[in-house]
């Protein structure tokens, strides 16, 4: 009986030694990730800050030297996501798919009218990402698609298609938790009215909504 108890104690100690470091590492990983992810308010501050360093010239977006203080405040990963997104826009402009005016207005080359009216479906290009005007119906369709992506029944390209071609960078490398919350947020923003919503998505994958 004594030997059996000793064996159980040793087994418990071994199991405890094995699992404790894993839990600690998981917590540490969660802490690091939370520092990298910006809140909506902080993201809007990042957009406003970087806007001073972004300008348009010769159908391309240019970036002035960004001070180290900006990287320190908002995180190198987040600032890099924004500058990488600008490079994608420039590539599309150089390929003849986009037109970038000197006041940083961006629109598709085959789109002769890029003004936005309330209640319609429309993609508006911004240097920091996309602004998507959803009708009530298209917002509901987007929620359905986001839920499918969250459970692995569809790929991220389904959501990217709502923001025009070549926008996988907006939603690349994100977890099912992100898409489940995205679906809930859009559903909530779209409920209780029939005006449609406006969704802003940045290259850093942070989004916020407002009513049309």
**pLDDT digit string (tens) for 114-161?**
445 546 888 899 999 999 999 999 999 999 999 999 999 999 889 988
Give Cβ neighbours of residue 1 (< 8 Å, ≥ 6 apart): none
- Average pLDDT in the chain: 81
In whole angstroms, what is the distance from residue 185 CA to residue 41 CA? 16
Question: How high is the pLDDT of residue 35?
Answer: 41
CA neighbor of 170 nearest in space, from 205, 139, 140, 120: 205
> What's this model's pTM, rounded to 2 decimal places?
0.74
Average pLDDT of span 59-66: 97
Average pLDDT of span 171-182: 90
Average pLDDT of span 78-92: 94
Whether the CA torsion 68, 69, 72, 76 is positive or negative: it is negative
67 has a pLDDT exceeding 90: yes
Asked if 100 contacts 140 with a C-beta cutoff of 8 angstroms, the reply is: no
211 has a pLDDT exceeding 70: yes
Which percentage of the chain shows pLDDT scores above 70?
76
């Amino acid at each position: 009986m004594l030997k059996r108890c000793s064996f159980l104690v040793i087994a418990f100690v071994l199991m405890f030694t094995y699992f404790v470091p894993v839990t600690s590492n998981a917590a540490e990983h969660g802490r690091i990730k939370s520092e990298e992810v910006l809140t909506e308010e902080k993201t809007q501050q990042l957009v406003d800050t970087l806007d001073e360093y972004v300008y348009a010239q010769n159908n391309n977006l240019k970036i002035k030297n960004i001070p180290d203080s900006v990287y320190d405040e908002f995180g190198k990963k987040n600032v890099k996501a924004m500058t990488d997104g600008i490079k994608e826009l420039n590539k599309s402009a150089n390929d003849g798919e986009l037109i970038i005016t000197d006041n940083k207005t961006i629109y598709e080359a085959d789109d002769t009218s890029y003004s936005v009216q309330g209640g319609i479906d429309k993609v508006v290009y911004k240097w920091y990402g996309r602004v998507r005007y959803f009708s009530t119906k298209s917002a509901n369709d987007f929620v359905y698609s986001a839920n499918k992506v969250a459970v692995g029944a569809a790929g991220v390209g389904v959501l990217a298609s709502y923001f025009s071609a070549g926008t996988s960078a907006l939603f690349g490398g994100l977890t099912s938790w992100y898409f489940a919350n995205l679906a809930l947020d859009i559903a909530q923003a779209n409920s209780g009215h029939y005006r449609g919503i406006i969704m802003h998505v940045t290259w850093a994958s942070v989004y916020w909504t407002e009513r049309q």
